[in-house]
Structure 1
Amino acid sequence: MFQFLKKPHPFIFNAYSVVIPGAASFLIILLLAPLDFKELELTSRSLYALCIGVFVSMIIFLTVKLLQKLFPTFTQEDRWTVGREILLFLIVVLLIILGVFLGIFTLYGANQSAWEVFAKTTFISLCISFFPIVILVLFEQYRQQKIQFTYAQQLTQSLKAENQKLQTKTVSNQQLQLKAENGKVELQVFASEIICLQSDGNYVEVFYEIDTTVHKKLIRNRLKSLEAQLPITTFFRCHNRFLINGNYIVQIEGNARNLELSLRGIAFKIPVSRSKASQISEYLQVL
């Protein structure tokens, strides 16, 4: 359960995130008239629906903006998870419940206990908010996946064009010396032979290809230190744990969460940090 909550999730906040829940709340109250709303005349119900719809949109906008202002690290896109997404929804729903409760109790709660009004408001708000949340999540997931898929297709086409150019380029015949923290040379290899580097704590695993055979070498060092020894025009830090040689990219795939790279000779896919996704296109152009 806890592992599921820690899974990466796209942090999506745009005009749709604000408009869709408000519009959905307005339409549900106006057209379906759930619970006590069916007892209201159309004019009164329309006014209530409009006020609640606008209030919902305002709460979402102000909540996210306030969180981004007060807790910028918490709302970083690269650190956003399923658990944080759920927590954000709960905060928004709670604020909506409190806002609606205060409004109803102020206007009509003179003859009722605060607890009775709060319980009724909570029940109504939860029932109404369920469908806008589901609609918003499904819409954003579909839209984000479509955007990522299109972007990945464009990058793959760009990659094919760059690979054709690379066939005419000459490769440097100077070997690199990759050193451990103590300064000892652990691996001598051409830059063109290195496929990728993967960080694992205090160690870095280097994947390289010699005569079409893929080898691995574990070096005690930080990825940042080894990155400084490699040509920046060829290698790209696509993730905090991965440094890749763009010449080995064979395919770029995208889903609602992130982009993934397939490298020649590597069985697993390389994740791309969400903050790095926009830089991939520029990187391929200068490769």
Structure 2
Amino acid sequence: MNFKLLNNPFNLVDNKRDRFILILIVLIFSIFFINLFKPWNIGRWYSDSGFIKFLRLSSYGIVVALVLLFTQFPLRMILKQQEFKIKTYILWFLIEILLISLVYILMYGNPIGNFVNDFLFSLKYTVLGICIPYSFALLIIYYKNQKAEIKQLQTKIAQTPAKKLIAFKDDNGKIKFSVLAKDLLVLESTDNYVSVFYILDGKLQRELLRNTMKKMEESFKDSSVIRCHRSFMVNSENVEFVKKSGKKLYLKVHLMDKTVPVSEKYSSLFLALLS
């Protein structure tokens, strides 16, 4: 297992609007799922029927939504938890499950009686019941954000002036050289240096710049130069050919002999951008 992945940022619920979408999807999904399929014979847990049963079954989904409303807004504000890594959000999700199970015990169980058994019973069905709608909601948010990011990049690329000169600075912020935006091809990082490939007088040229790819990415956030790999950035306007081999994606850039790899992290975004 790649434990380094757990340290990556988890930003699907950074935006308040996305948090409301999460809660709303979980609420609607839970109410419909419980009332239509009545999992774990939940419809027979009480001797009710008709509209009363509908309200009781729906209340399980409403409890989940109210707890999520608390954890995603007041609790995050109280604990000053604005940003997550994957590992911290997994912990946050477990806390949400525990809180939901506890509320179920207080509302439907007997907290004065055998609390431990009732809590474990509630915890089991909470885990089984929340994982599907929660995962579905995060998936919807992910694809919504991907679509918005692609649209934003396309707009920025369309607005990039073709004759604009791009200044390249070293790690001290000093300008070393400038290249026409339309003539820039590829940036390739090696340790603390970046190789800049560009066209001059119709020929491929290369300049070595002492800087990091992270700083380069920040400076190109409003241009057609896009990060496609841990070690590469490419000017999408000069991509001539895109090849997909299995799960791997490769780019052929104008005048360059070797292909540029696209890592899995950027492949879906890059394919959509070039389509």
Q: TM-score range by the shorter chain?
A: 0.5 to 0.7
Match of 1:48 among 56, 70, 73: 56
State the Cα distance separating 1:18 from its structure 2 match: 0.8
Match of 1:71 among 61, 77, 81: 81
Distance in 2 (CA, whole Å) between partners of 1:184 and 1:8 is: 32
Q: Deviations over 1:68-99 (max 9, x none)?
A: 53122x34xxxx54x45534432322221122
Give the share of equivalent positions with the same residue, in percent. Answer: 20
Provide, for residues 200-245 of structure 1, a one-character-per-residue CA deviation record: whole Å limited to 9, x for no partner: 66433323233555444433346798899x9x99867867998876
The residue aligned with 1:123 is: 124
1:210 is matched with 200
CA contact (8 A) 2:184 2:197 kept: yes
Deviation at 1:118, TM superposition (A): 0.9
Amino acid in the other structure paired with 2:70: L
Partner residue in 2 for 1:19: 24
Deviations 1:170-225 (A, max 9, x none): x77xx97866759896xx56445444545666433323233555444433346798
- The equivalent of 1:92 in structure 2 is 96
Q: For residue 154 of structure 2, what is the aligned residue in structure 1?
A: 155
- The structure showing larger relative contact order (alpha-carbon pairs under 8 Å, at least 6 residues apart) is 1
Flag structure 2 segments of 5+ consecutive residues without an equivalent. Answer: 242-250, 267-272
User: What stretches of structure 1 of length at least 5 have no aligned partner?
Assistant: 252-260, 273-279, 281-287
CA distance in 2, matches of 1:224, 1:134: 31
2:35 maps to 1:30: yes
Question: Match of 2:260, SS?
Answer: coil
* Inter-CA distance 233–122: structure 2 relative to 1 (3 Å threshold): closer
C-alpha distance after superposition, 1:13-47 (max 9, x if no partner): 24331112122222333333333622321244333
Query: Structure 1 CA distance, aligned partners of 2:215 and 2:122?
Result: 57
User: Residue type matched to 1:208 in 2?
Assistant: Y
TM-score, normalization by structure 2: 0.61
User: In 2, distance between residues paired with 1:233 and 1:144?
Assistant: 17
Question: Could you tell me whether the CA contact under 8 Å between 2:195 and 2:206 is conserved in 1?
Answer: yes
TM-score of the superposed pair, with normalisation by structure 1: 0.59
The RMSD of aligned alpha carbons is 4.9
Cα distance in 2 for residues equivalent to 1:113 and 1:35: 21
Name the residue aligned to 1:59.
67
The alignment of Structure 1 onto Structure 2 pairs a total of residues equal to: 242
